[in-house]
Amino acid sequence: MKRWTLKNVTIHVLVLLTLGMFLVPLFFIVTTSVKSYADIMAGNPLFFKPTLENYLSVLFLNPATIGFNFPSSLFNSLVIALVATLGALAISFPAAYATARLRTGGGNLISYIVSLRLLPPIIFALPLYLFFFKISPDLLIDSYLGMILIYTTFNTPLSVLVLRSFISDIPPELEESAMIDGYSRLGAMLRVALPLSAPGLVAVAILNYLAIWNEYLFALIFTSQRAVMVNVSASLFVTAYAIRYGEIAATVMIAMVPTIAFMLLVQRSLVKGLTLGAVKG
């Protein structure tokens, strides 16, 4: 029988409190999403008649009623998050490889890159908006291209930092052997370092995707109609006449589905990446 000491009790209490911090808000979001407006205003968290009217309202709401189309915002977030994640990986992997393998003062460069990531994003919001406006407001503001450029740029520093640590753990002799066999430095990077860095690439993809999906500041400032993202769309149900709690909760629940699906998909890829090349001599 397990002996309950003060240490064990303290640990269990802290675990329960931590779970409560995450599960209680989730419980209220789930229940609010299936309540009618009358039940929400009644304030009873347990006794209510479930309904799907909030989900139907969010998915099939006339855009003219509130000024945006939720399915379009969901699609916008998917496209922008996936393309920006791929863009950050395409840029950060060669940069991380160069700082880890080539004699280019990689340590100082990494310090500079990390220092950029530590600055609060609000510092860049106004200058970046003015910069986009001067270049081409129709092309870069409230557009896929503008949001992809922003998220790719701001997620690249952390991606370089994480991937550099993975590449540094790969024995350089493997790439040297490939170059002796006739591959160039680029060929060795693509054929040796890239496959062996698969776990790092998957980890960075997870970080980038979640950061983009949950980002609110740039999505709010740089979008208004054409490229409204799902995290901003939830706040648009707060109108001058009422706060539509049911639709907000339903929006949050729907927005969680692609993230959960992505995590399940990436989990399989992560296991595959960890075992990649393990049986090859």
Where are the domains positioned within the chain? 6-59, 67-236
Residue-wise burial string across 130-154, b where 16 or more C-beta atoms lie within 10 A, e elsewhere: eebeeeeeeebbbbeebbbbbbbbb
Q: Which amino acid is at 75?
A: F
Residue-by-residue pLDDT tens, the chain, 281 positions: 456 677 777 888 898 888 888 888 888 888 888 888 888 887 777 777 888 888 888 887 655 455 567 888 889 999 999 999 999 999 999 988 888 887 655 556 667 777 777 778 888 888 999 999 999 988 899 999 999 999 998 898 888 888 888 888 888 888 888 888 888 888 888 888 888 888 888 888 888 888 899 898 999 999 888 888 888 888 888 877 778 888 888 888 888 887 787 777 776 665 554 444 333 43
Using DSSP, state whether 104 is helix, strand or coil: coil
Using DSSP, state whether 207 is helix, strand or coil: helix
Comparing C-alpha atoms, which of 26, 5, 25, 7 is closest to residue 15?
A: 7
Contacts of residue 152, defined as CB under 8 A and 6 or more positions apart, other chains included, come to 84, 87, 88, 91
Residue for token digits 């992560």?
270
> Which H or E element spans position 141?
none
- Spell out the CATH class of 67-236: mainly alpha
Q: Which amino acid is at 239?
A: T
- Residue 243 pairs with which residues in a beta bridge? 238
User: Structure tokens of 91?
Assistant: 């840029």
How much is the pLDDT for 71?
A: 83
C-beta neighbour count of 156 within 10 angstroms: 24
User: Structure tokens of 255?
Assistant: 């927005």
Residue for token digits 């393998």?
101
